[in-house]
Structure formats: structure tokens, C-alpha cells
Amino acid sequence: MSQQELAGLFGLLDIHPEDAPGCADLLAGEPTPGVVDAIEALQARLGTFPTGNVADRGHGEFEWIEALLRFAPTVHAYHLGLGISPRVSGATLADMGLQLRINRRVHGRFGLDTWGWMTLHMAGNLFRLGRLQFHLVQEGHRPGQGAGDGHLPTWELGVHIPEDGSLSSASVDASFDEARQFFAAHFPDKFVARATCDSWMLDPYLAERLPESNIAAFARRFTVERCTDAPTDAVYFTFRHRGLEDLAALPRDTSLQRVVLQRIDDGGTWQLGHGYLSL
């Protein structure tokens, strides 16, 4: 890639200076067979509305980083072809730069241990709309007037919460309002019935301990159907610390930090709340 092409790509993906050299080195030569295979896997999913990450095909972390970098302009063009604004496409793909920065905080080096998460963005059905990300997937079937079996597909929005920015009620309201308009405009044939969220933030324990917090207000939007154990999620997303080792060294400066660690100190286990809300 030329320097001008690199600058354009790094701007699109919000690659910061500390990660730009590592990305440039990966793009300096021709892609290896592993990178080509990873790109082909991404291409096969584009526009197919997958629900999960690309399966591990035996490629290394840096092969996936290179594949994601090389494939991002294709996804951007796909977005624009659907009439999606450059602003929304850019905000969506900028998660690549954010994930690289998070990796540096977690591991102290250039890398992307969340490469699987970024493969969802590259399928073209996950979008950053204001404060939140929304992942459009088929949920099931509902009665309708469709051809064949007499049912129409029902779609839902998986809600994800990037770490940057305030989770204020106003910002969340604005994000949901934008999502309703966005998907009706760009995917009018996809009937979106509800939004779902699977997050440690929906663990009822958190709202009980911090009832006046923005997180509790966010969680109250959802009906939590069930909870499943996720012992490390609260620690990772609060501190960007992998695992449950060396917790005594973590700060307890905020009420959230104290609640997360105190539950573990008391022998408790953090959970994922699986919730939904009607749209």
C-alpha cells in the first residue's frame, strides 16, 4: 500500500500512532496463504447476517489482523452501496482501532486478542449508532403473510456496549432512536421485533448494589430472562484484566470497581444477564 492508502485506511479504522507501525508492517508485503484464506472467509460472510464470529481456521493472531485490515475497505464500500453514510460506516469500523488500543492496555503490546469479535463487523450487519452497537440477526419466525410456510422471518438487534463514552439515559435513548430509523431505512425488508443484550451489566446484583448508576438504568430497560455464570467478564470489562489472578493489585477507586471486586472477595460469581426489550 502507498502511504496515502495507509493514511486513508488508518483514518477509517481510527488506528492511533502507537499501533500504526505494527499495522503498516503487516501490510508491507504480499498476503500469505493464511491471510488470503482468512480474507476469503470474511468475504463469504459479507451480507449473510451471521450470528457469531468466524470460526478459528488455525491462523495466527497477526494473520487475522492483516486480513481484517485488508478487508475493511471492502466492508466500507459495501456499507456505502447500501446507502449507509460514511459517518456510520466509519464509526462502525473504528472499533478496530479501539480494540488494538485495548489490547495494548491488556497485554502491553501490539496485537488483537479480540480478532474474532471484529469479524462480526466485517460481515456488514453490525453498526455503531451513537453510544451503542447493534447487530442485526434473524431471530426466528412469526405469523405473517409470507409465501410458502405462511411465516415471515423475525429479526432482532443484538445490543453491544463499547467502552468509550457515557452510558447516560439521554445517550442511550438517542442511540435506540437512531437504530429504529436506521434499520427501517436501510433494511426495510427485515422486521425488527426486539433488541437483546447479553452482558454482565444485566446481572441483577449490579443494579442492586448501584441502583442510581447509569448501568442500572440501562439494565432496567431489559427484561432479564435468565443468567449464566461468567466469572471473569466483570473483571475484564471493568479493569481490562484477564482472569481472576492478582485481583488484590487492582484499584478500588470507584464504586463500580469496589462492587466488582467485593463480590468476588465474598465468594460470589459474576453472571451474564440475558435480556430483551421490545422495539
Alpha-helical regions (H) of the chain: 3-13, 20-26, 33-45, 61-81, 86-93, 95-107, 115-121, 169-186, 204-209, 214-219, 233-239, 255-265
Percent of the chain with pLDDT over 70: 95
Alpha-helical regions (H) of 202-278: 204-209, 214-219, 233-239, 255-265
Q: Is the pLDDT of residue 142 over 50?
A: no
Residue 97 near residue 13, CB atoms below 8 Å: yes
CB atoms under 10 Å from CB of 42, counted, come to: 24
Q: Are strands 192-199 and 223-229 parallel, antiparallel or unpaired?
A: unpaired
Sheet holding 126-129, edge to edge: 126-129, 132-143, 151-160, 192-199, 271-278, 223-229
pLDDT band at residue 155 using 50, 70 and 90 as cut-offs = very high
User: Of 200, 193, 199, which is closest to residue 140 (Cα–Cα)?
Assistant: 193
Structure pTM? 0.93
What pLDDT is recorded for position 139? 82
Question: Which residue has cell 456510520?
Answer: 88
56 vs 124, higher pLDDT = 124
What pLDDT is recorded for position 151? 59
Rounded average pLDDT over 148-173: 86
Helices 3-13 & 61-81, crossing angle to 10 degrees?
80
What pLDDT is recorded for position 148? 41
Residue 109 CA to residue 215 CA, distance in Å, equals 30
User: Of 41, 50, 223, 42, which is closest to residue 136 (Cα–Cα)?
Assistant: 50
Tens of pLDDT, residues 245-255: 999 999 999 99
Residue 244 near residue 264, CB atoms below 8 Å: yes
Residue 83 CA to residue 41 CA, distance in Å, equals 25
Mean pLDDT estimate for the chain: 94
Non-local (6+) Cβ contacts of 31 within 8 A are: 39, 66, 67, 70
What pLDDT is recorded for position 141? 43
CB atoms under 10 Å from CB of 56, counted, come to: 9
- For residue 126, the cross-strand partners are 135
pLDDT band at residue 22 using 50, 70 and 90 as cut-offs = very high
pLDDT band at residue 165 using 50, 70 and 90 as cut-offs = confident
- For residue 277, the cross-strand partners are 195
Tens of pLDDT, residues 71-127: 999 999 999 999 999 999 999 999 999 999 999 999 999 999 999 999 999 999 999
